[in-house]
Structure 1
Amino acid sequence: MIQKMKVKFRYKIGAIILAIAVLGTIFLFGAESAVKPKTVKAMSDSISGDLSFEDHKALFQDSYLAANDAYNTKHGFDPLSGKVVTVDTFSSTTSSANQWGYGFVEAYQDEDVTKILMLNDINSPTSGSGNIGKRKSSIEIDGGGFKLLLYRRNLSIAEPASGTQSVFHMHDLTAAQSTDYSGSGGSEAAYRKSLIRGDNGIHGDGDISKNWYFRFGNVFTDYDASKYEGENRDYSTFVGRWARVNQSEVTMYGYNILVTGAENFYTGSIVVEDNTVWKGTNCGQNYSVVWFTTRQLDGSTGINGEFTIGKNAFVYLRNTTTGTGYPAIYDNYSTITVGEGSYYNANMQGRAVSNYDGTELNNRYPSKKFIAKENSHVNLLSRGNGSVVKLDYNNSSVNSDMTFTAEKNSEVFIYGSTTDGVISMAGNGNLFELDTPKMFEIRNNNTRSFLNISNNNTFRIKDSDINTWKNATALTNPADFVYEKVGHLTAVGPTITSSDNALQSSFTSNGFRRINGLNVPPKVVWDYVTDAEKSYRTRVSLGLIPTGQFDSNGVAIMTDSWALPGQGVVSIKDTYGNIRGPLAIQSDGYAKYTDTEFQKATFDMEGTATRGVSWIGDVDKTTVIDVTPPTPINLTKGKITTTDKSLSATGVEPNAKVYLSVNDGPLTAAGNANAAGEWTHSLGTAYPKNTKVQIYLEDNAADYPAGFNSTGLESIHVASGNRNPKTDVTYKDATFKAATTYIVEQATVKLHIRQVAVTSAAEKEILTTPTEGYLTIKNTNTINYNAHVNSGYELTDATDNDQVDFNSIVIELIDADNDGLLKLEPIIPAYYQNDGYIVSDINEKPSINTHTVQSGYYEYDFADGVYEKWITIYIKPNQTNIKPYSWDYKLNDIGTIKIP
């Protein structure tokens, strides 16, 4: 079955110490078992991230199936027009599923068969060897996701019928030529030099395949996946190549991983269609990955000699061998083109890109080109000690005038460790040009120049920031020279010109080991801001820069370049609309501000960074994290008593959740406050005296961000919000008060009572006004208490009033269910009658002129919940005869009255 492979493309951002780059090889291999090379993820019109083969099919299958139809139409091939044969064995079969009794061999050898569908894995015998076929007519082989093992065998083709061209289309299979992964040093054993053989020699007799078109999609070689990452050798069952098809055009589509013992292909030209993934590895022989073997013949299908990558594709070519003689793409090619939004990564022990052609003569395309289209990504690495990009090779069939150009918004990273220049331009007429790159870096890990240039060769960077490091400067140090938005830097041989006079004066063609440009605006990177701190800080990223390392798919691993003092400033708009700054970068790399108030939770802080003169970043925001629990609750009554069967409060944080803990027991839910901050909760039964009740409030704050360090908030933060702590907690600049604790009190009422006689001035003269008053407090019909209070008078027709003080009585309620009502019945002196009462919740001495006198006798109910009352009892004369009054002047004890 086709293996479920992955390959990772996105720039990796990590805190990788740049010093690693100067300690040795700059190619990074993961340590984990490589059972799944990681791959790209489609995001809108680009591929980045992780994407499995299955997901790739789901995203792009419709497009490449349509491309298959268009391809067949273009080349006049209809695979369904002839014999369509299903096969389930290597050779002849009696299976009822195969109406002709064909196995794979017979189907391939029958020129009338136009399509073969594999129904299962198919293995050839392990004994014997040889060519299968020498097929002339067009064929489609649909592997159905199965494995095809051709032990010591290959699929051979022959020259098509005179005047015709044929199509070989193979897809959706894993292929092998051996039964184990041990290999044999990449030896090219007989009949295992390739899976598909289109020549009679190693790279001669190209006429055989020159009239063939080859198309491959979703194809894999069988290899030991645990050895995929790293520079391992001989871990594929392919001793040779996928296809030796000199002169022909090869098209790749879909998702492909080819690990071969030598090159993936001998070819005349290669087309990589849009959205294609192709990872090609040579793990055995010290050769290239793709060899354009011979001069393209007139009329051959691969006559244009191009290696063309379409849009939004990913191509990674590498060797894991020790040879330095050959680049990834070698010899008789004309142009390497990296399409818009596509990746081209080359990781070789020798050169990554070169016009080198070995000893072959009569190259049809002696002047070669490398073109990276807009928004493309190019990662070139040499693990050896030679040049990475060598444009100046020449012999009798190749000119030393190769051009390397990258168009606008491309990303180009070229790394090596060499005494010969990472880029070698020692010939004549070479051109290396980056036109308005989004980002570039050329780095020599050796303490020698990145550039080897002479004669009339031209090195040019246009419309870019330019930063340079001298040969003796450590790669981990800041750049020696920084230039902003340079119109051009041009070296023609040793002659330097630039639109920036300072750059022109400082730059030499052989004095700098590293050069880069980050043509992106600076970005404010916030530390998390909470609503519990008055100080906040940011860093400024000047952009992502290469670490000097590449991942296992040849993509540069990136890290933030943090602004140092003097390299940037930050302006901040806080949650109240205040503008702070510009704030300078301090020695620790942060721009900081300390305010006098807390920021508002869930609101955004905004920051804008400025680098240099003209690089102004976008507004970068961070949302203030809500870490503050609600203000602890205050009950309406201010306490809990033995009579309370419900609790209530106002002014609670709206919609807060409420929990109760009794005697330090577990929390139990007690409902929510409403949107107005009101909360009521029924207890069912009252708590006993001295019960400890702690009331916790919890807000509905969002969970903390994944990277937020919540140390110090452990007692506050829960998944559903922020909750009052059990005891006070100090965090940053805030102290979070503990959940409110109440100790249940014995229900008592404090009654402040006095008696006032209401008389006229005349009546006062003829009727004795009492100076003491007496009353009975009745709780039940059988429990009565007598009380003694002060008595004065209030005249109805004058202001000469005796505003006597209240006497205070405290009464405890023991049996709330039966004894909750207190009835106050005054003992009326002779010649007087009851005239009502005035009751107040505040300490005041009312008057009949300012307050309304209530008729009857006052009754206090503990259920009212106001546990202190000021009561004035009014009496008035009921006759005007002058008679002394008298009663028992024995006083009761005034104080706490307990009702048992």
Structure 2
Amino acid sequence: MEDGTQYKGNVNYYDFSVFWFNVAASAGSTGASREFTIGKNCRVDAGQTQTVGRTFPAVYHHYLSLNVGENSVFNVDMPGNAVRFDDAGAGMTIKKGAVVNLTSKQTSGSVVAFSNNNTYLNAEPGSYFYVIGTSNQPLINLAANGLGTASVSRNGNSMTLNSPAQYDLRNLNDSRTAVNIAYGNEANNSFSILDSDIDLWKVGVPVLGPSNETYAKVPSLQVTGSGTRETVTTSVAGLDQFKQANYRRISGMNQDPRIEWVPVTDADKTIKGRVVIGEVPDNNGLVSGEIKYIPVYASENQAKITLTDTHGNVRPDLSTDANGYVSYTDTNDPIQFQKAREKISGIAERGPWISPEPIEATVIDATPPEPAKVDNSDAIQSTTKRLTGTGEPNSIITLTVNDQPSGIPGQLVGADGKWAIDISSLSLVKDDVLQFFLQDQSGQITELSEADRPSTNNAIGNINPKADTVYRDATFKAATKATVVGYLSLASVPDGLEFGDNQVSNKTENYRPTISGDLVVSDTRGGARKPWRLTLNQSEELKNGTISLEDALYYTSQLGEKQITTATQIVESGEFTSDGSKNISADWLDNNGFKLTVPVEKQRVGDYTGKLSWKLEDVPGN
């Protein structure tokens, strides 16, 4: 097949192979070389959908060399043997960069059968070789009978994996092995792995679980013979105890490790990652011409990570557990949570294999803003019109009243962290509970499943919860609450009464003042409202030096005219029917309000000053 060929062959009716060298070509014929050769950069798929018989491999009988060229793909999905060497001296060569996937779906026979003498399989440096099947024979049998369904005496056969980029020999039969080298206790044939990792799974253990034994960058492993005559040659301690009958899977990743970070949020005290040491086909092998590759995870202590967190802390030598995970848990009190939207990174090491660059993950923003601060939160009344405060810049603040939406649109917190809400549209009463929710604009957390996201996250971002909420290792504080209070209060009193400059007279004079400021009574006590009264006295008598006008000041209201002296007088009273305020000074017209009555004998030249003391009181109940 020429370079770049794309070829798909399928056996859909007869019990045939895809390619059949039905005669052994003679020396002078055009097929004398007896080669099945795939050029460079090709893809060749060979499979079978017929079910009448399941006998023949993809390439059958009288060939001598099955060659897969550089960077080509050769996928075989046959129900019996995928590759079988039927003639003496036949073999297979896999070139650099080539990917060979051999799969068998039947439950008997070897996927690769060395069914004659002096046969070979060579995977050259940089090649990829995968064999997957459910075989009640060894997956690869260097001493196979003519159908690959039993073992017989063979000699001169060899299989060599020479510095492969990756390989995986995987028997899905729990009780059968990956490789058989010779028949019984014979010292024939050889199996070699050179300059490669070797991971071993014992017969009976889960084939996709962690390996039982792992060896990195093994210079050489050579095994000859079987049974009592099995000989193992290697310089690696532990591997020198290799017994082919013990292992159902033999694999070598020969790749730099990488890290699959478990999504980490700014509410986690634990950072966790899983070390991937390579990727191999899944247990289905070739399906409809396609291979699904799955990660292979490090086993216990097979790899380690050096972690750098978002605070710049470096955590070295974090070793993998039995499932390939490493983790680091913060032990600070309080917890030093990771910074949202910043990156953690790690370097993974597996023996001589090291990640060429740090592998990063961004910390997920899952934490709502700190609860809002509300100015004068303990003095919000039914008459309050505007609220202000501070919060996380550029977040959105919303308001509920007694757990119900207020109807006031969300307001954007300024870049300076300040916010304001006009609440003049609300009909608040005493004991209403206002709750102020801040929501950032980080958006929905797509890295986590719906079940794993905090309840405080939605399409806009993270919002304060109604009540303290525990998520992972953090407690999200409840949104700020404030209760509407009720007061009976003097909202304002006049700054002063100015009676002006007046001429000395020869008769008693009455003077009306100019008022600076208002006298306002406010009652926001809701259902707790009661009658009120306002008292007045001169806390500093009105006088000029030793000349006193204490008994000259009068105040007139609906209660009549009262002389305002240093003794306390009730001057106003009333009762509100709803929360509100009353400007009493607005009624200081005509005869109401203040007057100063000065007889002739007290009209002395000079400046008179004094101070008034107002006091607002509840009217005691009966």
Normalised by the length of structure 1, the TM-score is 0.50
CA-CA distance at 1:576 after TM superposition: 0.6
Would the aligned equivalents of 2:181 and 2:224 in 1 still touch at CA under 8 Å? Answer: no
1:175-202 CA-partner distances (Å, limit 9, x unpaired): xxxxxxxxxxxxxxxxxxxxxxxxxxxx
- Is residue 506 from structure 1 mapped to residue 241 from structure 2 by the alignment? yes
- 2:108 aligned with 1:385, yes or no? yes
1:732 aligns to what? 472
Q: Deviations over 1:788-832 (max 9, x none)?
A: 474499xxxxxxxxxxxxxxx9x9999999967989x9989999x
The answer to whether the Cα contact below 8 Å between 2:125 and 2:165 also exists between their aligned partners in 1 is: no
More displaced, 736-745 or 814-823?
814-823
Q: Does 1:653 align with 2:392?
A: yes
Provide the rounded CA distance (Å) in 2 between the counterparts of 1:740 and 1:822.
39
Q: Which residue of 2 aligns with 1:488?
A: 220
Q: Which residue of 1 aligns with 2:459?
A: 719
Number of the residue aligned with 1:872: none
1:733-763 per-position Cα deviation (integer Å, ceiling 9, x unaligned): 322233333444457756799999xxxxxxx
Equivalent residue number for residue 47 of structure 1 = none
Q: Deviations over 1:601-635 (max 9, x none)?
A: 11122233333x43334533322221111222223
Contact 2:34–2:64 (CA under 8 A) maintained in structure 1: yes
- Pairing of 1:383-782 with structure 2 (within 5 A): 383-393=106-116, 400-419=118-137, 422-424=140-142, 427-444=154-171, 445=173, 446-448=175-177, 450-453=179-182, 457-469=189-201, 475=207, 479-493=211-225, 496=231, 498-502=233-237, 505-508=240-243, 512-544=247-279, 548-550=283-285, 552-553=287-288, 559-585=294-320, 590-595=326-331, 596-611=335-350, 613-617=351-355, 619-638=358-377, 639-650=379-390, 652-666=391-405, 668=407, 669-683=409-423, 685=425, 687-690=427-430, 691-708=432-449, 710-711=451-452, 713-714=454-455, 716-745=456-485, 778-779=518-519
From the superposition, tell whether residues 526 and 878 of structure 1 become closer, same or farther in structure 2 (CA, over 3 Å).
farther
The structure 2 residue matched to 1:289, chosen from 9, 18, 42, is: 18
Distance 1:664 1:314, change over 3 A: farther
Give 1:440's aligned amino acid: Y
Which sits farther off after the overlay, 293-302 or 315-324? 293-302
CA contact (8 A) 2:77 2:287 kept: no
Contact 1:377-1:410 within 8 A present in 2 as well: yes
Change (3 A) 1:579 1:368: same
Is this contact kept in 2: 1:661–1:693, CA < 8 A? Answer: yes
For 1:878 and 1:372, the matched residues in 2 are separated by 125
* C-alpha spacing 1:479/1:815, structure 2 compared with 1 (3 Å): closer
The percentage of counterpart residues that share the same residue type is 26
Find the aligned partners of 2:193 and 2:575 in 1 and give their Cα distance: 93
Looking at structure 2, the residues matched to 792 and 521 of structure 1 have their Cα atoms a distance apart, in angstroms, of 95
Q: Which residue of 2 aligns with 1:370?
A: 92
SS at match of 1:413: strand
In the alignment, what sits opposite 2:86?
356
Aligned-CA RMSD value: 4.7
Query: Aligned partner of 1:696: which letter?
Result: F
The answer for the alignment partner of 2:549 in structure 1 is: none
Q: Which letter maps to 2:93?
A: I
CA contact (8 A) 1:813 1:820 kept: no
Alpha-carbon offset, residue 428 of structure 1: 4.8
Shift of the alpha carbon at 1:391? Answer: 3.4
Rounded Cα–Cα distance in structure 2 between residues aligned with 1:313 and 1:786: 103
- 1:329-348 equivalences in 2 (<5 Å): 329-348=59-78
- Structure 1 letter corresponding to 2:45: V
Query: Aligned equivalents of 2:610 and 2:200: distance in 1?
Result: 114
For residue 502 of structure 1, give the secondary structure of its aligned residue in structure 2.
coil
Post-superposition Cα deviations, 1:544-583, rounded to whole Å, max 9, x if no partner, equal 4566443523666655444454334333222111123433
Measured in 2, the distance between the counterparts of 1:460 and 1:792 equals 117
**Distance (whole Å) between structure 2 residues aligned to residue 419 and residue 462 of structure 1:** 25
Report if aligned partners of 2:142, 2:181 keep a CA contact under 8 Å in 1: yes
For each residue in 1:278-313, what CA deviation from the matched residue of structure 2 results, as whole angstroms up to 9, or x when unmatched?
2x3323322212223445687869987434154263
Higher RCO, 1 vs 2 (CA within 8 Å, ≥6 residues apart)? 2
Cα deviation for residue 701 of structure 1 reads 1.4
State the distance in 1 between where 2:583 and 2:32 align: 106
Q: What is the SS of the residue equivalent to 1:505?
A: helix
| Residues 785/778 of structure 1: CA separation in 2 closer, same or farther (3 Å cut) | farther
Q: Contact 1:319–1:347 (CA<8 Å) still a contact in 2?
A: no
| Matched position secondary structure for 1:721 | coil
After superposition, what is the alpha-carbon deviation per residue over 1:135-177, rounded to whole angstroms, capped at 9, x for unaligned? xxxxxxxxxxxxxxxxxxxxxxxxxxxxxxxxxxxxxxxxxxx
How many angstroms apart in 2 are the aligned matches of 1:471 and 1:512?
A: 5
SS at structure 1 position matched to 2:217: strand
Aligned length: 525
Does the 8 A contact of 2:211 with 2:299 survive in 1? Answer: no
TM-score normalised to structure 2 length:
0.70
Tell me whether 327-336 or 490-499 shows the greater mean CA deviation.
Answer: 490-499
| 1:839-885 Cα deviation digits (max 9, x unpaired) | xxxxxxxxxxxxxxxxxxxxxxxxxxxxxxxxxxxxxx9849xx9x9
Structure 2: distance between partners of 1:609 and 1:488: 25
Distance 1:509 1:527, change over 3 A: closer
Distance 1:656 1:273 in 2: 57
Q: Which amino acid aligns with 2:109?
A: G
- Once residues 288 and 789 of structure 1 are traced to their aligned partners in structure 2, the CA distance between those partners, rounded to angstroms, is 120
Does structure 1 retain, via aligned residues, the 8 Å contact 2:304–2:320?
yes
Larger mean Cα displacement after TM superposition, 578-587 or 784-793: 784-793
> How far 1:422 moved relative to its partner?
1.6
Unmatched runs of 5 consecutive residues or more in structure 2: 144-152, 497-514, 522-532, 543-571, 599-603
**Residues 18, 46 of structure 2: 8 Å contact kept:** no
Letter in 2 for 1:329: V
Q: How far 1:500 moved relative to its partner?
A: 2.2
Q: Residue 273 of structure 1 aligns with which residue?
A: 4
Instruction: Give yes or no for contact 1:452–1:510 (8 Å, CA) kept in 2.
Output: no
Aligned mates of 1:301, 1:515 — CA distance in 2: 37
SS in 1 for 2:220: strand
- Read off the aligned partner of 2:438 and give its amino acid letter: L
1:748 & 1:816 partners in 2: Cα distance? 10
What's the CA shift for 1:699? 0.6
